[in-house]
Amino acid sequence: MTLEASLRGIVGSAQVLQGDDLAAYEVDWRKRWHGRARLVVRPGSTEEVAAVVRACAAHGVAIVPQGGNTGLVGASVPDGSGTQVVLNLGRLNRVREIDAANLTMTVEAGCLLQSVQEAAQARDLLFPLSLAAEGSCTIGGNLATNAGGTQVLRYGNARELCLGLEVVTADGQVWDGLSGLRKDNTGYDLRDLFIGSEGTLGIITAATLKLYPRPAAVTTALATLAWLDDAVAFLALARARLDAALTGFEVMNAFSLELVRRHFPQLAQPLPPAGWTVLLEQSAGDGATLAAQRFEDLLADAFERGLIADAAVASSLEQSGAMWHLRESIPLAQSLEGLNIKHDISLPISRIPAFVRSTDEALARAVPGVRLVDFGHLGDGNLHYNVQAPEGVPADRFLAEREAEVNRIVYDAVTAHGGSISAEHGIGALKRDELAQRKSPVALGMMRAIKQALDPHGRMNPGRVL
């Protein structure tokens, strides 16, 4: 029997897509990676996923797991060979259980992140993972990339929010590792191997996630400042004053907000342009009045110390949403401006001002007129340090001619400052060769041994990560 026929037998003809139906599954969100799939299969249950994996294994066919296809490193679309099967998890979208007393929920991998948040909210609980793609990315994709987002400072990244997994292994067995246990020291942590593995070790079909009480009062503000040193000092002050109530601390450079102004002129920007703008958020468990006072005191103190020049505090949920909308419009505004060279880097927070100062200068010397879209999660030491072509230079030419040189300048500086070349987006195809250059041979050797043990025939998302 052909692979096509056996897959139709497993999932039904309507869920095996071929020909013209494949286009949306073959190109990534940034439209940077265009592949060709043999077919797309959309199983509706864990058992169907396992049967699909066994059928592909029997035919020696490689699988690209795909959730919402919002990944940014070219790992969720097939390569150009036309031989790979895209296994899309979108139909595994049930919330299986919410255990309010244990503060956990068990959901299937294809649930949209936003649906997971809403299911928690409906029980007056919080699932804190939060990112601009939440309306289209899936929890399976979030775990496979160990996504970060805007509340890592307080709640951790996807890894820290996950207690258990259900996984279909590369040979088509089901591992039921779903558990709501916060403590479980029974040998190697298999869950943590699959989190962040970008579909290269197995397929996540469900997860048990941590929930939190919903905060009683959320306060959001924007503040402008001249330079990043002040932002780092302001962050330290905010942590000291607000402690665990500080749930967000984002920075945006002037050019990233200028791009938002250019491409989304309808979005009001409450503060005049400045070198840097911080978006900070407090989520407090205590009363709104007390929390608001503490927040006002923090801003007044920062102003007095000369750390911030100006601030605007949201006085309604709507205004708070508008502030976040500004921040979250940066990725879209920069893609409307044209493809750029993305760097999702992390550094010790203390080193960020020196890194930005010297790398901005080095890039300006190498590429006169270069434009830097620099924004990100300062509270986690994570910058999206993106390099846009000089005004008037076509983006495709800029990438073709300068990408290697720009990456070398940025990643050499990241290494020199003790940072990482991927903070939250992963490695995928985009940074695979860079990883091979920069990770220690010992670490790479252990990673290859794990890959060999769990996917000996190299059929799970080949060519990604390693």
- Give me the residues that bind ligand FAD (CB under 6 A), please: 29, 64-72, 75-76, 89, 109, 131-133, 137-138, 140-142, 144-145, 147-149, 198-199, 203-204, 331, 424-425, 461, 464
Least separation in angstroms between residue 300's CB and ligand FAD is 30
> What's the min distance (Å) between Cβ of 74 and ligand FAD?
9
Q: Say which residues have a Cβ less than 8 Å from residue 266's Cβ, sequence separation at least 6.
A: none
Q: Which of 252, 311, 224, 227 is nearest to 261 (CA)?
A: 252
Q: How far is the CB of 204 from ligand FAD (least distance, A)?
A: 4
Beta carbon of residue 342, minimum distance to ligand FAD (angstroms, whole number): 11
Nearer to ligand FAD, 409 or 460 (CB): 460
* Shortest reach from residue 400's CB to ligand FAD, in Å: 23
Residue among 94 and 294 whose Cβ is closer to ligand FAD:
94
- Nearer of residues 299 and 326 to ligand FAD, judged by Cβ: 326
Structure tokens at 384: 């999206």
Q: Distance (Å, rounded) from C-alpha 326 to C-alpha 268?
A: 8
Could you tell me the smallest distance in angstroms from the CB atom of residue 40 to ligand FAD?
A: 12
Calculate the alpha carbon distances from 50 to 44, 144, 446, 461 in Å. Answer: 11, 17, 27, 16
Backbone angles phi, psi at 413, to 5 degrees: -65, -40
Task: For residue 320, give both structure tokens.
Answer: 């708070």
Residue positions counted in the chain? 466
Q: Which is nearer to ligand FAD, 210 or 425 (CB)?
A: 425
Q: Which is nearer to ligand FAD, 66 or 253 (CB)?
A: 66
Answer for the pair 71, 28: CB distance below 8 angstroms, yes or no.
yes
Q: Quick check: 127 and 95 in contact, CB under 8 A?
A: no
Would you say 149 or 248 has its CB closer to ligand FAD? Answer: 149
Closer Cβ to ligand FAD, 167 or 211, answer by number: 167
Q: Report, in Å, the least distance between residue 1 CB and ligand FAD.
A: 26
Look at residues 89, 13, 7, 12 and name the one whose alpha carbon lies nearest to residue 54.
7
**Nearest-approach distance from CB 129 to ligand FAD, in angstroms:** 9
Sheet with 84-88: list strands edge to edge: 16-17, 37-41, 84-88, 63-66
> Is the separation of the CB atoms in 427 and 411 below 8 Å?
no
> Which residue is nearest to ligand FAD, using beta carbons?
141
Q: How far apart are CA 190 and CA 420, in angstroms?
A: 24
**Closest separation in Å from C-beta 175 to ligand FAD:** 12
Q: How far is the CB of 453 from ligand FAD (least distance, A)?
A: 17
Q: Which CB atom, from 168 or from 409, has the smaller least distance to ligand FAD? A: 168
Q: Which residues 6+ apart lie within 8 Å of 275 measured at CB?
A: 224, 225, 226, 227, 253, 254
Nearer to ligand FAD, 230 or 344 (CB): 344
**Which CB, 140 or 177, lies closer to ligand FAD?**
140
43: left (phi over 0), alpha (psi -120 to 50) or beta: beta
Q: Would you give the end-to-end CA distance of the chain in angstroms?
A: 33
CB nearer ligand FAD, residue 165 or residue 274: 165
Q: How far is the CB of 293 from ligand FAD (least distance, A)?
A: 31
